[in-house]
Structure 1
Amino acid sequence: MALTGNDAVAEALRQVNPDVAAIYPITPQTEMMMKFAQYYADGKVDTEVVCVESEHSAMSATVGAAAAGARAITATSSAGMALMWEILYVAASNRLPIVMALVNRALSAPINIHCDHSDGMGARDTGWLQIYSESAQEAYDNTIQAFRIAEHPDVLTPAMVTLDGFILSHTMEVIDILPDEEVKKFVGEYKPENYLLNTEHPLTMGPLDLPPHYFEHKRQQVEGLDNSLDVIRQVAREYKEMTGREYDLLELYKMEDAEIAVMALGSSAGTAKEAVDTMRDKGVKAGLIKVRVFRPFPVVAILEATSNLKALGVMDRAIAFGAQGGAVFLETRSALYERSHPPVLSYIYGLGGRDVTIEHIAGVFEELAEVAKTGKVKQLVNYVNLREPE
C-alpha cells in the first residue's frame, strides 16, 4: 500500500483502535490526525475523539484519559510540543503509557515549518521514551510496537514515535501493512492495574509530593526507562516473528569491519547508508550506526558498536545551545568516556529543513578518514552544508 508517513501512522492507530485520541492540528502533523478523525467519522474506529483548543489541552486530555484507565494517544510537532511541555512531565511522572506521534519540525524563531530534531531533543529529559524512524514503514512499525513497550508493567512510561516532518510525513512510499487482526492480537487489550476509575482499589494520582517522597518517585521513573531496554528488544523479537522485519535499539550498517562510522537517526540514516556504499566503493571501510531508540540512551549497545573504530562522527539535526556539540554527540561522548575510545566528532546538519545529501555525508567520511589516519582532530564541532560568512 502506498502511503505517506502521516497516513502510515494513522493507519497503525486505526488498527490499534485506542480508547481516546486528543486532537489538535499543527503542520506537518495535521494530516495524520485528520486522517484518524476521518476513520472515526467513517466508523472504522470507536475511539473517543476529543478535539481540543490547544496542544496543552491535547496532552492534558490524554493524561486524564490514561489516568482513568484508557489507552490514549495524541500527536504534535514543534511549537505544539513546546506548548504541552508542562504536561509532558506530568504524563511521565504519573507513569501513564501514552503513545504520541511527533512529526519533527524546527522551533521558531524565525518561523520554520520544515524538519529538524529541535522538538524531540528538547524533550529528551521529560521522562518519555523516544523512538526515531528512518522511513514511513518504520514509523508504522514503531507505532505498533510503542504500545506494547509503554504499557509493559515493568516500564509504564509514555512513548513518542518520531518521524521527520515533510521528508517522511508527506512523502509517499510503499508500506507493508499488517492485517487488522494481527495488529490487534499483537498489541492486545489494555488492562491497567492501577487507574482512577478502579473502585475496587481507589487511589490518588498526582498529589502534592513533598521532600520525604519526591526523590524516590523520580528514581522509580529512571527504573522504568532502564527496564524498557530489555522490553524494547523483546517486543522487537516478537514483531520480527510476525513480520520478518528486524528492529533493535540500534541498526548497524556495514559495521562488521568498519574503521570509521557516522551515527545518525531519522530519515538521514537512509542517506548515510548510500554514503557508506559510496565510500566502500572507494575502498574505505565505512559504516553507519543508526540510533533507533534515543531514550533511554542505549549505552551498552553503543559501546559494543564502536569498539573497533578509529574515528566516529555523530550527526545531530539540532543544536544544543551553549554546549559543545549536539545532544546525540554529548550522550555518545559521555557513554564512551570510561574506556579507551576513538576520536569522536560532532556534525550539526539539516537545521530548518536544510538538505543533507550523499555527497555531504561522504564529505564527513572523508574528514573522519583523515582523523583516523593522523589521530588529529582539527575541529571538534562541525557544521554540514552551512554557508560561511564571506
Structure 2
Amino acid sequence: MAIRDRLSGNEAIAIAMKQINPDVLAAFPITPSTEIPQYVSQYVADGEVDTELILVESEHSAMSACIGSQAAGARTMTATSSCGLALMWETLYIASSIRLPITLALVNRALTGPININADHADSMGARDAGWIQIYSENNQEAYDNFIQAVRIGEDKEVQLPTMVCQDGFITSHAVENIELIEDEEVKAFVGEYIPVASLLNAKEPIAIGPYDSPHYYIEHKRQQAEGMNKAKEVILKVAEEFEKVTGRKYGLFEAYQLEDAEAAIVIINSTAGTAKAAIDKMRKEGKKVGLLKIRVFRPFPHEEICDALSHLKAIAVMDRSEGFSSIGGPLFAEVRSALYEAENRPMLINYIYGLGGRDVTTTHIEEVYNQLFSMINKNQTGQVYRYLGVRE
C-alpha cells in the first residue's frame, strides 16, 4: 500500500536509505547534498537503522571508506555533489575497477570555477567514463524510485558495478513535492539481502583487493568491467519491470513524451524535462508536432534504442546542462549524435548549452528551441550546430 507524503528530493533519498538499511554510510557534507547524511545520522541516533555511520575528513576519504566496507562484504552508500565528486575522482575509478556495487546519491551542482553552488551536470558528466552506472531523475519521486532500483542493479551478479543516482541541486533536492513511498517491508523485500560475490572477510576464499595489474592482465580486466556495463542495460529493464509490479510506476532506459508522431523533439536530462513537457502540452494545443526524449540511463548509454526512438524525426535539439569545452557541443550531444550515425535518414541535429550554474529555464525558452527547430525544417538547413540558450552574448 502506497504511503502519500510531501518531501524534498534529499528527504526522499534519505528515507530510501532508511528503508534499505545499509550496513555502512560513509559521507562528508557538501551543499546541496548535505541533508542526506544529516537525515541518516538522525535515524542512526534514534536507533531506526543498524547502519554504521562513518564521518570522515573529506569526500576522497568517504569513497575510500565505502571501498573498504563494500570490499569487506557490507552494503555501502554515500552522497555528494560537485567538488565532492571531483575530490573522489581517483577512488571512483578504484570502486568500479574492483567491481564494488556502492550506491551514491549525487545531487548535481556546478563545479567550482568561479564558485557556484547551483544545479548543472558538470559533476556527473565529468565522471561519465569512470565506470559507474548513471541514472538521472526528473523529480523527487523518480529520485526515490531510482535509488531503490539502483541497489538491485549494481549488486546483480551479471553487473557488479557502482551506481550513482542523480538529481538537480536545489531544484529537486530542496523543493518539496507530493510523493508516494513504498512500505518499509516491501522495500526490504524488493532490495533483498546483500550477498557479496567475494569479500575480504571470507577466510575460505581469500582475495586480493587493489593489487598491481601488469600489462599481461590489465586489458582483460577492463574488458570484464566493460562487459558488466554492457549487461547492466538488460538488468536495468528487468529490475524496472519488477518495480512496476510492486508500485505500478513504469521505468525504462528513457521516457518518450509525445514523440511518436513528432516532427521536432528535444533530448534532455533531469528536472528541465518537466518544463519541456509543459511547453509541449501548450504547443500541441496549437497544432505543433513536438516531443521529448528524457534520458534516464546515461551509463550504459542506450545507443540502439535512442536511434530507433529518434530516427523518424525531422529535427532534434540535444540539451546539455554541462559545457564539455570540445568546441563542437556538450557530452550528451556527442552521445546522441553518435547514436544517430547508424540511422538511414538522419534528422537535423543541433546542441544547446543551457542552465549552467542554475540559470533558470522557462517554458518560453523551450518554445524558442522548438521554433528554431521548425525554422530549420522549413529552410531545410541546420545552420549553427553549437548554440547557447538564454545567455547574454
Task: Please give the alpha-carbon distance, in whole angstroms, between the structure 2 residues aligned to 1:130 and 1:375.
Answer: 36
User: 1:212 aligns to what SS in structure 2?
Assistant: coil
Q: Does 1:358 align with 2:369?
A: no
State the AA in 1 paired with 2:184.
Answer: D
- Structure 1 counterpart of 2:206: 202
- Structure 2 counterpart of 1:81: 85
Task: Please give the alpha-carbon distance, in whole angstroms, between the structure 2 residues aligned to 1:323 and 1:201.
Answer: 51
Task: Please give the alpha-carbon distance, in whole angstroms, between the structure 2 residues aligned to 1:267 and 1:4.
Answer: 13
Q: Does 1:344 align with 2:349?
A: yes
Task: Please give the alpha-carbon distance, in whole angstroms, between the structure 2 residues aligned to 1:89 and 1:375.
Answer: 44
Task: Please give the alpha-carbon distance, in whole angstroms, between the structure 2 residues aligned to 1:375 and 1:278.
Answer: 25
Query: Is 2:311–2:340's contact at 8 Å kept on the other side of the alignment?
Result: no
Question: How much does 1:307 deviate?
Answer: 2.1
Paired residue for 1:252, among 256, 264, 272?
256
State the AA in 2 paired with 1:52.
Answer: V
Question: How much does 1:211 deviate?
Answer: 0.3
Query: Is 1:105–1:116's contact at 8 Å kept on the other side of the alignment?
Result: yes
Per-residue CA distance 1:27-78 (angstroms, 9 max, x = gap): 0000111001111111111001000000000000000000011100001000
Question: How much does 1:23 deviate?
Answer: 1.5
Structure 2 residues without counterparts, runs of 5 or longer: none
User: 1:337 aligns to what SS in structure 2?
Assistant: helix
User: 1:125 aligns to what SS in structure 2?
Assistant: coil
- Structure 1 counterpart of 2:309: 305
Equivalences for 1:174-189 in 2 at 5 Å?
174-189=178-193
Per-residue CA distance 1:75-125 (angstroms, 9 max, x = gap): 100000111100000000000000000000001111000000000100000
Task: Please give the alpha-carbon distance, in whole angstroms, between the structure 2 residues aligned to 1:323 and 1:234.
Answer: 38
Q: Does 1:380 align with 2:385?
A: yes
User: 1:328 aligns to what SS in structure 2?
Assistant: helix
Per-residue CA distance 1:202-249 (angstroms, 9 max, x = gap): 111210001000011111111011100000000000000100001000
Query: Is 2:307–2:342's contact at 8 Å kept on the other side of the alignment?
Result: no
State the AA in 1 paired with 2:140.
Answer: A
User: 1:290 aligns to what SS in structure 2?
Assistant: strand
Query: Is 2:311–2:343's contact at 8 Å kept on the other side of the alignment?
Result: no
Q: Does 1:33 align with 2:40?
A: no
Query: Is 1:278–1:362's contact at 8 Å kept on the other side of the alignment?
Result: no
Paired residue for 1:164, among 165, 168, 178?
168
- Structure 2 counterpart of 1:242: 246
Q: Structure 1 residues 373-382 or 312-321, which shifts more?
A: 373-382
Q: How many residues align?
A: 388
Q: Does 1:45 align with 2:49?
A: yes
Question: How much does 1:300 deviate?
Answer: 1.3
Equivalences for 1:1-390 in 2 at 5 Å?
1-340=5-344, 341-388=346-393
User: 1:276 aligns to what SS in structure 2?
Assistant: helix
Per-residue CA distance 1:111-157 (angstroms, 9 max, x = gap): 00000000010000000000000000000000000000000000000
State the AA in 1 paired with 2:51.
Answer: T
Per-residue CA distance 1:256-301 (angstroms, 9 max, x = gap): 1111100001000111111111221221100000000001111111
Structure 1 residues without counterparts, runs of 5 or longer: none
Question: How much does 1:323 deviate?
Answer: 3.8
Q: CA RMSD in A?
A: 0.7
Task: Please give the alpha-carbon distance, in whole angstroms, between the structure 1 residues aligned to 2:23 and 2:375.
Answer: 55
Task: Please give the alpha-carbon distance, in whole angstroms, between the structure 2 residues aligned to 1:323 and 1:99.
Answer: 33
Question: How much does 1:200 deviate?
Answer: 1.1
User: 2:30 aligns to what SS in structure 1?
Assistant: coil
TM-score (normalizing by structure 1): 0.99
Question: How much does 1:373 deviate?
Answer: 2.2
